[in-house]
C-alpha cells in the first residue's frame, strides 16, 4: 500500500518508563497555539503490567493536557515500518496550561533551572544504553566483528535512524554479552539528553521488530547472563559556556564545584538507586564483581565504581577539559530518564549548597575492605533489593523533599505494585517477565 498517511505521536514517559501517548495531527503541530491532547492524572500510576497502582493519589478524578514540544521531535523513515517513526515529546499541564508538578519532564526541567539559578551551572549529559537482541542469530564472540555482522544490518540502520531523528549518535557496537549491543549518543543539555534517551529506546525496539527480532533493555534478561545498564554521563558547564568539571590540579582532576556536585550524589546515592534502578531485577545486576555498581564509590576509570571518572584522550592535542565527565553507573532502562537525571541534578545541587569536599578516589575492591576501612572512605553498600532501595528513599528526608507529595506517592505506589506482582516468583522467572516487558 502506498501513500499511507502518518501521524506524529505526542508522548509522555511515565514512572514505569513506558512511553505512552496518542496520535496528533500534523497541521495542529505546525500551527502552534495547540491545546494538546487529553490525559488523566491516574495514567501516571500505570505499571509495566498495564495495571493502575492502587491506592494512588488520583483515583478516577481529574483531567490534564499534554502539550507538544516541537523542538523535541524525533522522526525517521528507516525503522522498516509502513509509516515513519515520528515521536513528539510532551509536557503534562493542567487545563489552564500551568505545569503539572507530577510531570517527569517538568521535574527535570525544574531541577536544571534550580541548578542554573543558584550556581550559574548547566548540565551536559549523555545516556549510554545496553540491550540485547533476541532472534538475531547465534551469538558471536564478545565485542567481535562476527557478532556485529551476525546482526547486520541492525547497527548501520540504527545509526542512520538516530542520525535522521536528530539524536546525534556516536557509536553502536556488539558488547560483551550474548547478542548484547550498546548505543551511545553525543552529550546534550540535560532535557535534550533525557528526551533522546526515550527516542533511542523506542527506535531500537521498532527497528528490531522491523527486522523480525526483539530488543530488550531489561537489566537482567536472564539470571545467569550479562546485565544491561544505562550509564549516565555528566559534566558541568559554566555560565560562559566553558567546561566546569575539569581541574588538572584537583583530586581526580575534578574542579572544586564538580567535587561538591558528585559528593552530593554519593551522599544520597542509596536513595537515588530507588529511582535509577527501580525494579526487582535491577538488583540482580547491582552486585560486586559484576561490572555494574555496588558501593557508594567514586573511582578513576574503574567500571566497578558507582561513579566513574571517565578517561580523556590527548591524541592530536585534544583538550581534556572539553572531554572530562563522570559516569553514574547504578542505573538501568527501567528508570524514567527524566526522573533519573532530575534526582541526580538535585543531589548534586545539595552537594554544592553544602560546599562538600570532593569525595576520595577509591582504588581496590570495597568488598575486601574491613568495615573500618570502608567507613573511613565513606563507602556504603548500595541497597541489595528494590524494597531496601525504596526504604532508603523514604528514609532520606532531603531526597523526599525533591518530590511533590503526589509524585512521591505515585512513584512508591507504582514500584510497590510491581514488586507485589512478582513476589514469590523465582528470580529466573522475574528476569524473563521483565525481558518481555522491556
User: Grid coordinates representing 120?
Assistant: 550559574
Give the CB-side neighbour count of residue 306, counting CA atoms within 13 A: 29
Burial of 204 (0-12, 13-18, 19+ CB in 10 A): buried
Q: Indicate the pTM of the whole model.
A: 0.95
Paired residues of 76 in beta bridges: 85
Host H or E run for residue 409:
helix 405-422
C-beta of residue 10 within 8 angstroms of C-beta of residue 68: yes
User: Would you state the pLDDT for residue 158?
Assistant: 98
Tell me what the mean pLDDT of segment 46-73 comes to. Answer: 95
Q: Is the separation of the CB atoms in 214 and 204 below 8 Å?
A: no
Q: Which one has a higher pLDDT value, 34 or 110?
A: 110
- Residue 281 pLDDT exceeds 80: yes
Q: What pLDDT is recorded for position 32?
A: 61
Supply the pLDDT for residue 144: 93
**pLDDT tens readout for residues 397-413:** 999 999 999 999 999 99
- For the four alpha carbons of 264, 267, 269 and 272, in that order, the dihedral sign comes to negative
Mean pLDDT across the stretch 11-33? Answer: 87
Condensed to tens digits (0 to 9), the pLDDT of residues 111-144 reads 999 999 999 999 999 999 999 999 988 889 999 9
Please tell me the class of the 107-398 domain: alpha beta
Q: How confident is the model at residue 302 (pLDDT cuts 50, 70, 90)?
A: confident
- φ/ψ bin of 403: left (φ > 0), alpha (ψ from -120 to 50), beta (otherwise): beta
Helix (H) or strand (E) holding 232: strand 230-237
Q: What is the pLDDT of residues 320-334, one digit of tens each?
A: 999 999 999 999 999
Amino acid at each position: 500500500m502506498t501513500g499511507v498517511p502518518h501521524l506524529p505521536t505526542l508522548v509522555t514517559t511515565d514512572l514505569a518508563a513506558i512511553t505512552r501517548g496518542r496520535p496528533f495531527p500534523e497541521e495542529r503541530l505546525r500551527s502552534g497555539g495547540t491545546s494538546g491532547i487529553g490525559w488523566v492524572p491516574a495514567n501516571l500510576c500505570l505499571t509495566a503490567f498495564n495495571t493502575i497502582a492502587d491506592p494512588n493519589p488520583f483515583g478516577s478524578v481529574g483531567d490534564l493536557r499534554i502539550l507538544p514540544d516541537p523542538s523535541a521531535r524525533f522522526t525517521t523513515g528507516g525503522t522498516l515500518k509502513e509509516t515513519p517513526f515520528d515521536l513528539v515529546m510532551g509536557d503534562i499541564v493542567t487545563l489552564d496550561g500551568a505545569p503539572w508538578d507530577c510531570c517527569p519532564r517538568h521535574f527535570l526541567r525544574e531541577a536544571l533551572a534550580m541548578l542554573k539559578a543558584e550556581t550559574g551551572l548547566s548540565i551536559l549529559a549523555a545516556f549510554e544504553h545496553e540491550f540485547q537482541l533476541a532472534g538475531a542469530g547465534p551469538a558471536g564472540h564478545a565485542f567481535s566483528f562476527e557478532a556485529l555482522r551476525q546482526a547486520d544490518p541492525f547497527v548501520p540502520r540504527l545509526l542512520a535512524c538516530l542520525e535522521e531523528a536528530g539524536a546525534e549518535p556516536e557509536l553502536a557496537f556488539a558488547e560483551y554479552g550474548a547478542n548484547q549491543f550498546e548505543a551511545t549518543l553525543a552529550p546534550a543539555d540535560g532535557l535534550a539528553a533525557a528526551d533522546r534517551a526515550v527516542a533511542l529506546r523506542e527506535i531500537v525496539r521498532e527497528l528490531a521488530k522491523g527486522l523480525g527480532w526483539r530488543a530488550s533493555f531489561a537489566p537482567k534478561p536472564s539470571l545467569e547472563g550479562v546485565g544491561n545498564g544505562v550509564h549516565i554521563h555528566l559534566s558541568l558547564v559554566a555560565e560562559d559556556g566553558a567546561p566546569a568539571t575539569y581541574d588538572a590540579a584537583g583530586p581526580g582532576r575534578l574542579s572544586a564545584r564538580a567535587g561538591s556536585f558528585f559528593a552530593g550524589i554519593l551522599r544520597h546515592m542509596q536513595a537515588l538507586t530507588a529511582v535509577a534502578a527501580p525494579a526487582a531485577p535491577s538488583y540482580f545486576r547491582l552486585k560486586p564483581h559484576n561490572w555494574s555498581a555496588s558501593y557508594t564509590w567514586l573511582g578513576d576509570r574503574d567500571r566497578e565504581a558507582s561513579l566513574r571518572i571517565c578517561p580523556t584522550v590527548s591524541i592530536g592535542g585534544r583538550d581534556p577539559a572539553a572531554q572530562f565527565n563522570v559516569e553514574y553507573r547504578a542505573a538501568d532502562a527501567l528508570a524514567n530518564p527524566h526522573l533519573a537525571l532530575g534526582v541526580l541534578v538535585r543531589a548534586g545541587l545539595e552537594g554544592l549548597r553544602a560546599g562538600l569536599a570532593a569525595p576520595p578516589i577509591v582504588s581496590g575492591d570495597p568488598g575486601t575492605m574491613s568495615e573500618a576501612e570502608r567507613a573511613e572512605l565513606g563507602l556504603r553498600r548500595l541497597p541489595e533489593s528494590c524494597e531496601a532501595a525504596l526504604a532508603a528513599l523514604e528514609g532520606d528526608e532531603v531526597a523526599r523533599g525533591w518530590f511533590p507529595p503526589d509524585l512521591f506517592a505515585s512513584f512508591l505506589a507504582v514500584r510497590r505494585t510491581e514488586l507485589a506482582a512478582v513476589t514469590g516468583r523465582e528470580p529466573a522467572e522475574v528476569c524473563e517477565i521483565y525481558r518481555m516487558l522491556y
